[in-house]
Structure 1
Amino acid sequence: MTNRLPRRSFDEAFRLQVVKMIREQNLSVPQVCRDMSLTDSAVRRWVEQYDAESAGQPGIGKPLTEEQRRIRQLEAELRQLRQDNDILKKAFGLLRPGTEVIHRVIAQWQKKAETVAVSTLCRVLSVSRAGYYAALKRAARPAVIEPIEVQLKAAFTASGRSYGSRRLRAALEVQGIDVGRWRIRRLMREHRLQPSWKRKFVHTTDSRHTLPVAANVLQRQFAPASANQAWVADITYIRTRSGWLYLAAVLDLYSRKLIGWATAPSMPAELVCAALEMAIGQRKPSPGLIVHTDRGSQYASELHRDVLQRHGLLASMSGKGNCWDNAVMERFFLNLKMERVWQRDYANHAEAAADIGDYIVGFYNSTRLHSTLGYLPPNAFERKMAATRPIELSENS
């Protein structure tokens, strides 16, 4: 006999947050539903209500002016152009084995459109003109590429050029390709598949305050027996050309899944509360869940304490100046910056927020292989554990 899942209810603030994530961060409805364990039909109904409101029809907010509707239309067209451009760039990057393919593209383009100068094509495709003409004079046979090299490059590119030899081996194993780690390391050296990143540092939270500080209840117990027993939260910063963007995030230690986040150009207490409310709205945890943070003034604020008390959650804080007490969240922020942020040059806050949302929903929660989870993504790990034993994800999602 099949047990029916209990019906969940969401307040207007959470529904509006989900819809804005879809519209402003250019995420698909199925993608968000899979990540947050929501019903597709319900989310589409929320989106329709939001669109109706935006068109001036009765809704949960004020109707938009003609100028605002035009701005939204232009923003949507710009997002679509950027997405199409990114798809073409990624597809081209996955398919090309080297400059030889680019040279052939230039030669074929010259045959079809002789009015386009070779120098222009070389500049657009990022190759030297001298190298192109030298390639035309060479009569060398094309190099034979092993299928494993093609698969390796595809896996490396699909990871955002962030995977090392261990995760690449696990990714190839999922595809049914059994190859040793040392061979992968050799091929990575030969083809220059080397992740590169650099550290930057900016203070985010300030523990020099007189606000109440909670005891360290978590005590570095980073492997709870089930979901929604212990969460960790923190704030980090993202560099953009328009100034710093601050990211507050909440992570479930059981599956390492990022379940709540919020961004803002400053970092008041409202920022961390917005991320926590998103996590609570999605997971509906039982009272007694531990929420571990550092001693920052945002987490010690009355506003944050009220959110915890209202939902019956237990506050836990790291020792003074001890980053190891919140090491899991620190590691997530490092992965985010190594694998995405430090490879980008964000023009403004909106562009950064959209890309971070894409990383969390489209890569980190659904695709990225976690060594702690047996090289499974958080969503796949939760589904696997749900199939082997009953776990509580608020609504048994």
Structure 2
Amino acid sequence: MLENLEGGGTKTRYSLIRLVNERGQIQRLCQLFGVSKSGYYAWLKRQSIDRDVEDKQVVSKIYTKYKGIYGYRQLQLFLWHDEGVWMNHKKVLRLMQNLGIQSRIRKKRQYRYTTNKAERIAENVFNQNFVAHRPNEKWVTDITQVLIGERWLYLSAVKDLFNNEIVAYAIGEHPNKELVQRTFQKAFRKRKDVTGVVVHSDRGAPYTSHLYHDMLPKVGAQISMSRGGNCYDNASIESFFSSLKTEGLSLYSIRSWKEAQKRMETYIRFYNTKRPQRKLNKLTPVEYRRQFA
């Protein structure tokens, strides 16, 4: 190998030392390749600095692109998905610290539980098993509320656990069975054959209604429900609602229902088509579903 280095420059020799380096062998390797130990370490430091300059630029670019919303773990996924650059999450964190940037702090969520006289309930088929191996195997659904001025806006959504995609949603003034009905009518039109899908919800009034319990079996769907007062039984859809409010709504001063609805619709499209997820092999929900197909 040394014979082949006769015409090679010093940088080439430094590169080979780094390539074959073993702990405690730098001195011997430098002598073998005919370079100084101090020169090698100076070159190595310059390489590290140069790489950090480029890496800081791309981290800063992605951070700015997504308005500083995300922390280092989600930023790591965007670096890969948008730029084709894969960095160790610890390095992303270090570079963010060096740049003096950080994610915006999430607001703590407060849960409020109310009891209602249920018309009809169903057993908990999921038992907190949120793993699905194919599309339309397991869906989760719920309603969340957003305060706009002095009025509440309600979002009903259905999420496919196979790829975490929001299959359908509806927005309205009241968290009632009609809002849920509109949501599922959209979901059934979009996914066509849903025979065998298990749909999980909490025990809220819209989901214990006769309308809901008659509607789902007609398309071959099975109903599953959380245990009373247990938020963890439906944690997957709650996680989406948390991301929606933190990333899609709380950053803006929303003054009207029309603006709030537009923000929700924009974020759901972004979530489905642009936001990569670690559990989906760094793909977006739609990309993951298409890859499966």
Fold-level similarity (TM above 0.5) = yes
Give the distance between the partners of 2:248 and 2:118, measured in 1 at CA: 36
2:180 aligned with 1:272: yes
Runs of 4+ in 1 over 6 A off after TM superposition: none
Bigger shift: residues 159-168 or 302-311: 159-168
What SS is found at the alignment partner of 2:250? helix
Partner of 2:59: 152
Partner of 1:233: 141
What amino acid is the match of 1:274? Answer: R
Give 1:264 shift. 1.1
Bigger shift: residues 317-326 or 185-194: 185-194
What SS is found at the alignment partner of 1:219? coil
Segments of structure 2 that go 5 or more residues without pairing to the other structure are: 1-51
Partner of 2:92: 184
Give the total of aligned pairs. Answer: 240
Partner of 1:201: 110
| Greater C-alpha radius of gyration | 2
Give 1:244 shift. 1.4
Partner of 1:304: 212
Partner of 1:164: 71
Give 1:310 shift. 2.3
**One of 228, 231, 243 as aligned partner of 1:323:** 231
Give the distance between the partners of 1:366 and 1:154, measured in 2 at CA: 20
Partner of 2:261: 353
What amino acid is the match of 2:196? Answer: G
Partner of 2:277: 370
Partner of 2:27: none
What SS is found at the alignment partner of 1:316? strand
What SS is found at the alignment partner of 1:267? coil
What amino acid is the match of 2:53? Answer: E
1:311 to 1:160, Cα distance in 2 relative to 1, 3 A: farther
Contact 2:226 2:233 in 1 (8 A): yes
Give the distance between the partners of 2:278 and 2:84, measured in 1 at CA: 19
Partner of 2:6: none
Task: Please give the per-residue CA displacement for 1:111-161, whole angstroms capped at 9, x wherever unaligned.
Answer: xxxxxxxxxxxxxxxxxxxxxxxxxxxxxxxxxx93322321221233343
Identical amino acids, percent of aligned pairs: 32
1:373 to 1:218, Cα distance in 2 relative to 1, 3 A: same
Partner of 1:344: 252
Give 1:202 shift. 6.3
What amino acid is the match of 1:191? Answer: G
Give the distance between the partners of 2:76 and 2:161, measured in 1 at CA: 25
What SS is found at the alignment partner of 2:223? strand
What SS is found at the alignment partner of 1:356? helix
1:200 to 1:331, Cα distance in 2 relative to 1, 3 A: closer
Give the distance between the partners of 1:173 and 1:234, measured in 2 at CA: 32
Give 1:245 shift. 0.7
- Residue pairs, 1:8-47, within 5 angstroms: none
Segments of structure 1 that go 5 or more residues without pairing to the other structure are: 1-144, 387-397
Give 1:199 shift. 2.6
Task: Please give the per-residue CA displacement for 1:264-308, whole angstroms capped at 9, x wherever unaligned.
Answer: 122111111111111111001332211100000111112222221
Task: Please give the per-residue CA displacement for 1:47-68, whole angstroms capped at 9, x wherever unaligned.
Answer: xxxxxxxxxxxxxxxxxxxxxx
What amino acid is the match of 2:136? Answer: N
Contact 2:76 2:87 in 1 (8 A): yes
Partner of 1:224: 132
What amino acid is the match of 2:100? Answer: H
Task: Please give the per-residue CA displacement for 1:7-37, whole angstroms capped at 9, x wherever unaligned.
Answer: xxxxxxxxxxxxxxxxxxxxxxxxxxxxxxx
What amino acid is the match of 1:214? Answer: A
1:186 to 1:227, Cα distance in 2 relative to 1, 3 A: same
Give the distance between the partners of 2:137 and 2:78, measured in 1 at CA: 30
Give the distance between the partners of 2:74 and 2:122, measured in 1 at CA: 37
1:320 to 1:202, Cα distance in 2 relative to 1, 3 A: closer
Partner of 1:35: none
2:160 aligned with 1:252: yes
Contact 1:248 1:272 in 2 (8 A): yes
Contact 1:167 1:375 in 2 (8 A): no
What amino acid is the match of 2:106? Answer: W
Give 1:319 shift. 0.7
The normalised TM-score by structure 2 is 0.76
Partner of 2:49: none
1:178 to 1:242, Cα distance in 2 relative to 1, 3 A: same
1:178 to 1:248, Cα distance in 2 relative to 1, 3 A: closer
Give the distance between the partners of 1:313 and 1:255, measured in 2 at CA: 19
RMSD of aligned Cα (Å): 1.9
Give 1:184 shift. 1.6
The normalised TM-score by structure 1 is 0.57
Give the distance between the partners of 2:198 and 2:116, measured in 1 at CA: 23
Contact 1:220 1:325 in 2 (8 A): yes
